Amino acid sequence: GENVEQHPSTLSVQEGDSAVIKCTYSDSASNYFPWYKQELGKRPQLIIDIRSNVGEKKDQRIAVTLNKTAKHFSLHITETQPEDSAVYFCAASKEGGSQGNLIFGKGTKLSVKP
């Protein structure tokens, strides 16, 4: 089955710097790749997603890139702010896209220091 690897497990940056989190997936049939932000004890919040027919997507300070050949995708956060501090999860799905089961990475704890 699908396996999603996520790196790094922790990431500390200074406010204003950029943060990059990388994920790889194993199943070439996966076609939907969302990123979630989870604050302690709360539900994951979808922050951006990308489908396999697109190589890059941007939403203000957040961008996601997808390399289908290499089977990896990355989250880029620019001009980080303290409120960006949270755990970020990548995920992959092949059945039903956003309506299907998601296989999650292990998460990255991002700390943005003021």
Residues lying near other proteins in the complex (CB under 8 A) are found at 41-44, 89, 96, 98-107, 109
3-state secondary structure of 101: coil
Is the CB of 45 or the CB of 67 nearer to other proteins?
45
Query: In angstroms, what is the minimal distance from the CB of 78 to other proteins?
Result: 25
- Looking at beta carbons, which pairs linking 42-45 to residues 24 or more positions away fall under 8 Å? 44/89
Query: 60: part of which helix (H) or strand (E)?
Result: none
Smallest gap, in angstroms, from Cβ of residue 79 to other proteins?
A: 27
Q: Which is nearer to other proteins, 64 or 107 (CB)?
A: 107
Tokens of 57: 């997507």
Q: Check residue 99 and report its DSSP letter.
A: G
CB of 16 to other proteins, least distance (A): 27
Q: Pick the closer one to other proteins by CB: 5 or 79.
A: 5
Whether the CB-CB separation of 31 and 95 falls below 8 Å is answered with no
